[in-house]
Structure 1
Amino acid sequence: MHWFVVASQKEVRIFIKTSDRSKIELIKTVTNPLGTVKKRDLIRKEAGRGTKSLGGHLGSTHYTEGKRHDPHEEAEIQFAKEIAQFLETERLKNSFSSMTLVAEPHFLGKVKAEMGNKLQESVTDWIKKDLQKTPQSEIANFILPKSEPSSFENSI
């Protein structure tokens, strides 16, 4: 079975072709709980996470932090990891034989970076396209191959 995986930083939707092969059916949606949180709210959650240490002078306090990352970027990376882990689990269960992976360019790179070699080999098409707000009917028009005209139509 071929999966069509449409991912964004907010959610991932997995589709399959219907029996008539001209439509797609949604079989799974996974939403990123941090995907809709505003950047400023993520920063507030990170506030106060530095570590307090006493410096070399009596009475002085220094605050240090580990490497700083953009909290929004960290949330994207974490969701990309979750997507890759989910897809790897499903690959091992033979839920699909191949897939088309569609995502906005920078997020597609993050997901690909989290995928193992075997999982990457199962991807037949990597499509850099943001379909996050695209309705299912329009996604079908974009990801399903266009049928070739018959030889009869070509001869007319």
Structure 2
Amino acid sequence: MKKTWVVVAEGSRARIFEANSRVKPMTELEDLSHPKSRAKVLDINADNAGKVYDRMGQGIHHMESEVDPKTHEADMFAKEVAEHIEKARATNRFEELVLVGEPKFIGMVRKHLHAPTLKTLVKTVSKNLIRADEETIRKAAIELE
């Protein structure tokens, strides 16, 4: 089996495992987190949207964001995870890649991966296993079905 990275991710956390065997335990290399993704919408918006003043009079309106703040933070974390994967591929830390997570977040990560890295992607598992044990993740990600 080629050296494989298994990235298990959700909107606020990503766990990275290295697998060298389909049956032996994987090694957990890193556990990344993005606390802002877990924050309440009110806390994320603490900086507040911009203000717009009426041309005439004293009216002030707050501009609403077009993107849901939680989605924006999840996308920012997806980009961070993708950059981490990109650097690892560029330094030959893995030969094959498996992504595990809910489809929406995995789609965000894939959007930020470059073509050479996407070529290493051998499997996607559409399941949120972020809190699962290593054996459960390994069985879903790399063991033959």
Q: Report the TM range for the smaller structure's normalisation.
A: 0.7 to 0.9
- SS at 1:15 equivalent: strand
Measured in 1, the distance between the counterparts of 2:116 and 2:22 equals 30
TM-score (norm 2): 0.85
- Structure-1 residue corresponding to 2:76: 78
Please list the CA deviations of residues 3-29 of structure 1 after superposition, one character each: whole Å capped at 9, or x if unmatched. 111111121111112568421110111
Aligned-partner residue type, residue 140 of structure 1: R
Measured in 2, the distance between the counterparts of 1:128 and 1:20 equals 19
Measured in 2, the distance between the counterparts of 1:137 and 1:145 equals 10
- SS at 2:132 equivalent: coil
Please list the CA deviations of residues 30-85 of structure 1 after superposition, one character each: whole Å capped at 9, or x if unmatched. 11121322234323x243x3134351x2x333436375221101101100111111
- Structure-2 residue corresponding to 1:129: 127
Q: CA deviation at 1:141?
A: 2.6
Structure 1 residues 124, 19: CA separation in 2 closer, same or farther (over 3 Å shift)?
closer
Measured in 2, the distance between the counterparts of 1:105 and 1:130 equals 9
Structure 1 residues 146, 20: CA separation in 2 closer, same or farther (over 3 Å shift)?
closer
8 A contact 1:22–1:144 mirrored in 2:
no
Structure 1 residues 63, 42: CA separation in 2 closer, same or farther (over 3 Å shift)?
same
Structure 1 residues 121, 20: CA separation in 2 closer, same or farther (over 3 Å shift)?
closer
User: Sequence identity, in percent?
Assistant: 24
Aligned-partner residue type, residue 109 of structure 1: G
- Structure-2 residue corresponding to 1:101: 99
Q: CA deviation at 1:142?
A: 2.1
Between Structure 1 and Structure 2, how many residues are aligned?
A: 143
Which structure has the larger Rg? 1
Name stretches of at least 5 consecutive residues in structure 2 with no aligned partner.
none
- Structure-2 residue corresponding to 1:138: 136
Mapping for residues 11-90 of structure 1, pairs under 5 Å: 11-17=13-19, 21-43=23-45, 45-47=46-48, 49-55=49-55, 57=56, 59-63=57-61, 65=63, 67-90=65-88
Aligned-partner residue type, residue 98 of structure 1: E
Measured in 2, the distance between the counterparts of 1:79 and 1:123 equals 19
8 A contact 1:8–1:104 mirrored in 2:
yes
Name stretches of at least 5 consecutive residues in structure 1 with no aligned partner.
148-156
- SS at 1:34 equivalent: helix
